[in-house]
Structure 1
Amino acid sequence: MSALYFREDLESVDEGARLSLTGPEAKHAATVNRTRPGQSVMIGNGRGLIATGEVLVATSTELTIEVETVQHVASPSPVVTLVQALAKGDRDELAIQASTELGVDRVVPWAAARSVSRWEGAKIAKSRDRWATIVREAAKQSIRAWVPSVGELSSTKAVAELSGSSRVLVLEPDATTRLSDIVVETGPDARPLVLVVGPEGGIAPEELGLLTAAGAELVRLGTTVLRTSTAGPAALAVLNGALGRW
């Protein structure tokens, strides 16, 4: 399969046109992926547009293709958001990377009560930018036309408020309802879905109370307890089946 590169300022392109990349993307193509003239690659904008064509120029400063096909991929519906609690080490980053590969449409960092990791001051913007880079690279690797958006750092109150516009599913090992048993809506008018994953120590009782009072549903995956880095991706796999995406 052809490699995918992103050019965010790309709005439109016609078949037969020449399309170029410069900067880090071009350097990565030439030096890391060892892209050479004659190969076929894809250039997308991360918002549904993907152009495929033969490489004409491949240097550390420029990648140029002659566009053969142009594809416009509709945005997914319903939108699936992962609210991922901040976690120690790189566990939250592993979660959003795998979730992107599995098709999540949006990720939101959550400062849960039991989160060991904390984003404060200048670290908030820096960490959010790092999440954006992680999902962008994961989208490239998995050849996704749409790059997931990264929301602002959210409090538990802000997460609870998502129930006003979305169906919020909170992963909780002690829940009586299994995620695989719920019925989800599909189609363009389906209500957005939000998966909420807690930190290493689990979601605090007062947070569960706030979330359920707002209308969130508690669901479990099975009889075992998964790490915060694997719970979200596992839940997404279940939803992909229920939504008919897999």
Structure 2
Amino acid sequence: MTPPLFWIDSVPSVGQTAELTGVEGHHALTVTRIRVGDQVLASDGLGTVATCEVTDTSGKDRLVLRALDHTTVAAPTPRVTLVQALPKSERSELVVELATEAGVDRIVAWQSARCVTRWVGPRAEKGIAKWRMVARTAAKQSRRPCVPLVEGPAGTASVRSLVSDVVGGGGVVAVLHEDGARSLADLPLNAANEVVLIVGPEGGIDPGELEDFRALGGIPVALGPEVLRTSTAAAVALGAIGVLTDRWARGRDR
């Protein structure tokens, strides 16, 4: 079984020690019940990770870790960015959690035309902060040494610019839509340096937005015969991309 992962500011080199304290230390000792002699993974959330042995504990939030190895994990290719229209509040966190566990590299919160939810002012700051916290927690749970970037909220004009830049740079933009005439298997994913997935809100992508993305090189794609919820579509697509590209194969090699 893979050891539990905890976040640390600076990952120790082999043979060196570091302290795990604060919230992470408290979680390790009181929730996960880590003890002296146990092994844990310590990561900075940026791709560097070490397998460590716990050599000492004190109080309710302090552990001393000694690094047994030290690795910098290369980012998988192609990079995958999810442009996610803001879901209704009860499903908002689920989107980020599932996409993170499925391996997404970046999430852009999208204020699309048909979004019922509106992130404005302080609510936007609070929403992005919440998504970042969920991404960090989900990465920890799934033993990911990299926490996906979370950005936004972006308007449709910004998403149009992203589509244009990615397609112009040799990437692929898949607009997930139930009426899409193509599948992910039809797209040149392995030849792309970046893949962007665009997922609309509960009411679907506005026809005008869909045509804009198509005109800029975005490709409407159907994931299958079923119509998926906005909260699950990205995770299903990421699973398919993992199989259709080398992203998961590289993970197995590590």
Paired AA for residue 211 in structure 1: F
Aligned with 1:206: secondary structure? helix
Q: Is the 8 A contact 2:86 2:201 kept in 1?
A: yes
Aligned residue number for residue 242 of structure 1: 244
Aligned residue number for residue 36 of structure 1: 35
The aligned runs of 1:156-167 (5 Å cut-off) are 156-166=156-166, 167=172
Aligned residue number for residue 129 of structure 1: 129
Question: Does the alignment pair 1:199 with 2:198?
Answer: no
Aligned residue number for residue 82 of structure 2: 82
Paired AA for residue 233 in structure 1: A
Aligned residue number for residue 95 of structure 1: 95
Query: Partners of 2:73 and 2:184 in 1: how far apart?
Result: 28
Question: Does the alignment pair 1:214 with 2:216?
Answer: yes
Aligned residue number for residue 51 of structure 2: 52
Query: Partners of 2:76 and 2:185 in 1: how far apart?
Result: 21
Cα distance, 1:33 vs structure 2: 0.7
Cα distance, 1:68 vs structure 2: 1.0
Q: Structure 1, unaligned stretches of length 5 or more?
A: none
TM-score normalised by length of structure 2: 0.91
Question: Does the alignment pair 1:21 with 2:20?
Answer: yes
Query: Partners of 1:244 and 1:127 in 2: how far apart?
Result: 33
Query: Partners of 1:79 and 1:92 in 2: how far apart?
Result: 23
Which of 177, 182, 186 pairs up with 1:181? 186
Paired AA for residue 183 in structure 1: P
Cα distance, 1:152 vs structure 2: 1.8
Query: Partners of 1:123 and 1:76 in 2: how far apart?
Result: 33
TM-score normalised by length of structure 1: 0.94
Query: Partners of 1:117 and 1:206 in 2: how far apart?
Result: 19
Cα distance, 1:164 vs structure 2: 2.7
Aligned with 2:174: secondary structure? strand
Paired AA for residue 181 in structure 2: T
Q: Is the 8 A contact 2:40 2:52 kept in 1?
A: yes
Aligned with 2:197: secondary structure? strand
Cα distance, 1:107 vs structure 2: 0.6
Paired AA for residue 22 in structure 1: T
Which of 171, 176, 179 pairs up with 1:171? 176
Aligned with 1:77: secondary structure? coil
Query: Partners of 1:45 and 1:136 in 2: how far apart?
Result: 11
Aligned residue number for residue 6 of structure 2: 5
Paired AA for residue 121 in structure 1: G
Cα distance, 1:181 vs structure 2: 2.4
Paired AA for residue 181 in structure 1: D
Paired AA for residue 225 in structure 2: T
Paired AA for residue 169 in structure 1: A
Aligned residue number for residue 251 of structure 2: none
Q: Is the 8 A contact 2:12 2:70 kept in 1?
A: yes
Q: Is the 8 A contact 2:78 2:189 kept in 1?
A: no
Aligned residue number for residue 252 of structure 2: none
Cα distance, 1:117 vs structure 2: 1.2
Q: Structure 2, unaligned stretches of length 5 or more?
A: 167-171, 249-254
Aligned residue number for residue 67 of structure 1: 67
Q: Is the 8 A contact 2:189 2:244 kept in 1?
A: yes
Aligned residue number for residue 224 of structure 1: 226
Q: Is the 8 A contact 1:114 1:199 kept in 2?
A: yes
Query: Partners of 1:214 and 1:154 in 2: how far apart?
Result: 17
Paired AA for residue 184 in structure 1: L
Aligned with 1:69: secondary structure? coil
